[in-house]
């Protein structure tokens, strides 16, 4: 990234409290300062936020992952957007590396909310003029937004890392058919075959994988499990059991959003065949959340490049998370 191509006087770059480390990396990549944000609470628990620099007639970028505590971080983001709009910002860009509400993307039970769409509407109402996120849970989430929205891909981050490793005899495996297309695109970038699990979800943390679809896994000693998000690790644990039964001896897990709630990281690390768990910094990783088998790659360069292209009114299509139909074949 060439310096001086973004005017520090024309933009303001802020971070909520969810992932200031990533926000700092993005700002550094762009060569702009990370402006301060004062966040506290009144005695009645209402949130109080003040942006630490003037935003009048400036382009404002607000970085906030919707990680735990999700509802607090969402409220922070909405308030910061509203503050920027009310203070006469010319543009308000919501940079949401992890859009956790994307999992609530359909009505699969009676009397439930399609929360991915609801939150998209809230962002627009608050005053966001543009949204940027990393690897939505499903393609339809993109269509829920009534303002320009850029869904970015983390595939190149993983490709750059994995291409330095010995992948001989490996196969890419998606945990379910919902992730099969994304896994197929990823497999194509690495020149590897792809398969997917036949998954039935029992509850939020319990699944059953009855078999595999696509290329024959038996005969492959190595597998790369590819998913967009891991929370409790139930799907990956169950898929690992199936892969080991098929003769796989070495498993690497690759996911964009490493939430690892309810002991999910420890659950996967306890599987002897899982030698590495590779994720990104779309969610924060405090020291107590790290593990010797965990590798965290940064998406700051991808998000920074996308912001730079947006600032300079250039296309960012090459950074999008969706590919052509010819990449979607599972065989």
Q: Determine the pLDDT at residue 210.
A: 74
What SS3 state is found at 168? coil
Q: Determine the pLDDT at residue 317.
A: 81
Q: Determine the pLDDT at residue 204.
A: 66
Phi-psi sector, 263: left (phi>0), alpha (psi -120 to 50), beta: left
DSSP letter for each residue of 207-227:
EEEEEEEES--TT-SEEEEEE
Flag whether the pTM goes above 0.85: yes
Q: What is the dihedral of CA 309, 311, 312, 314, to 10 degrees?
A: 40
Q: Are 71 and 119 in contact (CB under 8 A)?
A: no
Q: Are 316 and 306 in contact (CB under 8 A)?
A: yes
DSSP letter for each residue of 223-268:
EEEEEEEESS-HHHHHHHHHHHHTT--EEEEEEEEE---TTHHHHH
Considering only the C-alpha atoms of the chain, give the largest distance between any 2 of them, rounded to a whole number of Å: 63
Q: Determine the pLDDT at residue 179.
A: 87
What SS3 state is found at 83? helix
Catalytic residues: 199
Q: What are the structural domains, with CATH classification, of the chain?
A: 11-152 (3.40.50.2020), 155-297 (3.40.50.2020)
Q: Determine the pLDDT at residue 158.
A: 97
- Residue 183, token pair as written in the block: 């896994």
Q: Determine the pLDDT at residue 331.
A: 33
pLDDT less than 70: residues of the chain: 1-5, 202-205, 320-331
Q: Are 128 and 96 in contact (CB under 8 A)?
A: no
């Amino acid at each position: 990234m060439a310096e001086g191509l973004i005017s520090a006087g024309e933009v303001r770059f802020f971070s909520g409290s969810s992932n200031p480390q990533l926000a700092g990396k993005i700002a550094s990549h762009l060569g702009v300062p990370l402006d301060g944000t004062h966040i506290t609470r009144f005695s009645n628990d209402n949130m109080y936020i003040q942006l630490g620099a003037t935003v009048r007639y400036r382009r404002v970028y607000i970085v906030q992952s919707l990680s735990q505590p999700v509802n607090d971080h969402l409220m922070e983001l909405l308030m910061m957007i509203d503050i920027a709009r009310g203070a006469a910002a010319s543009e308000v860009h919501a940079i949401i590396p992890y859009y956790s509400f994307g999992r609530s993307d359909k009505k699969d039970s009676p009397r439930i909310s399609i929360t991915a769409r609801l939150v998209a509407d809230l962002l627009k109402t608050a005053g966001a003029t543009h949204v940027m996120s990393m690897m939505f849970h499903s393609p339809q989430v993109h269509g829920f937004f009534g303002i320009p929205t850029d869904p970015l891909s983390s595939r190149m981050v993983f490709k750059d890392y994995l291409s330095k490793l010995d992948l001989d005899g490996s196969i890419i495996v998606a945990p379910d058919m919902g992730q099969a297309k994304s896994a197929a695109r990823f497999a194509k970038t690495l020149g590897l075959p792809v398969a997917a699990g036949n998954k039935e979800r029992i509850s939020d943390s319990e699944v059953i994988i009855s078999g595999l679809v696509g290329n024959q896994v038996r005969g492959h000693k190595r597998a790369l499990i590819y998913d967009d998000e891991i929370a409790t690790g139930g799907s990956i644990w169950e898929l690992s059991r199936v892969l080991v039964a098929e003769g796989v001896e070495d498993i690497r897990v690759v996911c964009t959003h490493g939430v690892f709630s309810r002991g999910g990281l420890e659950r996967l690390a306890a599987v002897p065949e899982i030698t590495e768990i590779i994720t990104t910094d779309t969610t924060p990783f405090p020291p107590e959340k790290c593990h010797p088998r965990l590798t965290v790659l940064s998406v700051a360069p991808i998000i920074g490049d996308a912001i730079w292209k947006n600032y300079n009114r250039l296309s960012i299509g090459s950074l999008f998370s969706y590919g052509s139909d010819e990449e979607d074949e599972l065989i």
